[in-house]
Amino acid sequence: MKNKKQLIITTLSLAIIIVSAVLSIRYLQVKPVSTATNTKTTETETYTDKELAKKTLTQNTASQTEKSAIEVPRVEPPAKPLEPTPDSTKQTQVRQAVSNEHIYYPLQTANDPGYASNWAIQKVNAPAAWDISTGNGQTVVAVIDTGFALNHDDLKNNWYLNSGENGNTIAGDNCWTGDPQNKATNSCDDDSNGYIDDYRGWNFSIGDNNPQAGRTNAYGVGVSHGTQTAGLVGAAGNNNTGIATINWNTKIMPLQVLSDDGPGYTSNVVAAVYYAVDNGADVINMSIGGSDYDADLKTATDYAYSHNVVVVAAAGNCGTGTEQGCTGLPAGTMGYPALNDHVISVGATTVSDQRASFSSYGPDLDIVAPGSGTINTTTWTPSNGTSLYTSSLSGTSFSSPQVASLVSLIKSIRPSSSADDITALILATSTKLSVMNGLPYTNEYGHGIINSNAALTVAASLNSISSIPKLLQSGGSVTEHRYASTDNLSSGCNTTIGTYCSIWFRDNSNGRERYLPYTLANQQGLTGWSWNGSFIPSSSWTIKAVQGDNRSNSYFLGVK
């Protein structure tokens, strides 16, 4: 899916520029909003749960009182990662195996206030999707980030709990001592996963079982970032508290890899990815980024893909090249892990459906989601860790978790689907924005903005399909496995009447992927698309008709 780019430093002066870019820490001004004294309008009508959520979505945020912004000074990262504590033999093993430590940062940028409080959830068509599903409470999204407000009112009931480290020990258990003990606090690795007492996630930055925000620096630059992304992934919905996100009922696995001050390292991020996969995550969200190709992290994200765990990552915040942390980088430069193969990379849009100026872009961008303006989500400060919400946020960091939330909602109705199937459902059901001028893909918007209702509609229909689609023509009347960017081409699918089909393209040289929109087959079982050769960059492509995990034989198309 992604072009594996590795930065080559050719001159000393260029090296200095790039190193300074990597070591620059991005910062964010957050306007926290307390709901401790929130006064909501009393409803006299009665509604179903879904109707109530749709009707009160604005009420739950509109009455929040805005406080002054908090600006945190930039800090330099430590010279090397902190040594882990003896609480995790597995984390120590991963750290020793990592070949080179790269630095990662929370992907943030400046505030861009001024939009209606609930515009983001409407833009992604979530209210309509809630008529299909609001989640089943069984999906798990691992959020790999800074620390978390573990006691926040809108999050505390949605944390993932490790069943192997909860409850009391009994005779025959791995850690039985003769008397029942609480597995969460018995200083023993009850489930033998290499982590002691990891009953609710893990703090890879410190090396223990407490991923609480603010433990090392309550005023650090990244201290609230993890709480904000977690809220956009899975704040509890329809609970008369705070906000609703796309999936009301998913579990969040809190994995801290970045310090309160912002930076984190390859070994911590890699260990967290392996932990997420090995401990039951369905989805991984990484609103973090670095500018260098990282072979160890690539191996980890490939491991996730091979286990059908969907990885979603923020594209980056170098849209103009002048943002903090982007000095010396070309405008639009995307970062890692978003550039890794089999990772869904996410850019940011505004309330007017424009690419946010800071949002990174290019031929490796997959999808966009709201990420600039009045993005309401949970947050944390030293004085309020239970009832605080943002009124304004900007960054691809806050677009990525919305996509992860949608992935988990799809998994709630299609639990056995593969990572490839989920990727197709996200990309091939997106809304094509007007600025895309009718094209199925552009470098600035990827496949378009996520459409929650369309994704769930197609996902639900695929559950009853068992037939294998047949790929019809993919090319043009004068092409035979060859194309030019100026050619007008077409593709077709022959399948069961009234079922959805898409066309999947994969670049054989660098892993980029493209999808034509999921479309219903007509009464003859046929559907087709017309497209221009510029839709797929000049390369060699494998093409298949797809319906979920059912895929046709391959066709190959190469550049003239």
Is residue 269 within 8 Å of 184, Cβ to Cβ? no
Is residue 155 within 8 Å of 227, Cβ to Cβ? yes
Tokens 């009853």 appear where?
A: 464
Nearest to 137 by CA among 222, 236, 206: 236
Residues labelled catalytic: 145, 225, 397
Tokens standing for residue 465: 């399909």
Is residue 187 within 8 Å of 359, Cβ to Cβ? no
Angle made by CA atoms 243, 248, 254, in degrees to the nearest 5:
85
Tokens standing for residue 67: 């406080």
Q: How many CA atoms lie within 13 A of 449 on its CB side?
A: 25
Pairing of strands 202-203, 264-265: unpaired
- Give Cα separations from 428 to 187, 334, 421, 454 (angstroms): 47, 22, 10, 9
Tokens standing for residue 199: 């009953």
- Give Cα separations from 214 to 222, 234, 286 (angstroms): 9, 21, 20
**291 contacts: CB under 8 Å, gap ≥ 6:** 7, 18, 21, 22, 329, 333, 335, 336
DSSP class per residue in 340-407: STTEEEEEEE-TTSPBPTT---STT--EEEE-EES---EEEETTEEEEEEES-EESGGGTHHHHHHHH
Alpha helices in 44-111, H assignment, sequence order: 49-56, 59-62, 89-97
Tokens standing for residue 387: 């009832």
The span from the CA of 241 to the CA of 495, in Å, is 46
The span from the CA of 459 to the CA of 411, in Å, is 9
The span from the CA of 99 to the CA of 305, in Å, is 21
Sheet holding 264-265, edge to edge: 264-265, 103-106, 288-289
Element (H, E) at 541: strand 540-547
The span from the CA of 80 to the CA of 98, in Å, is 13
The span from the CA of 164 to the CA of 135, in Å, is 24
Tokens standing for residue 354: 């424009």
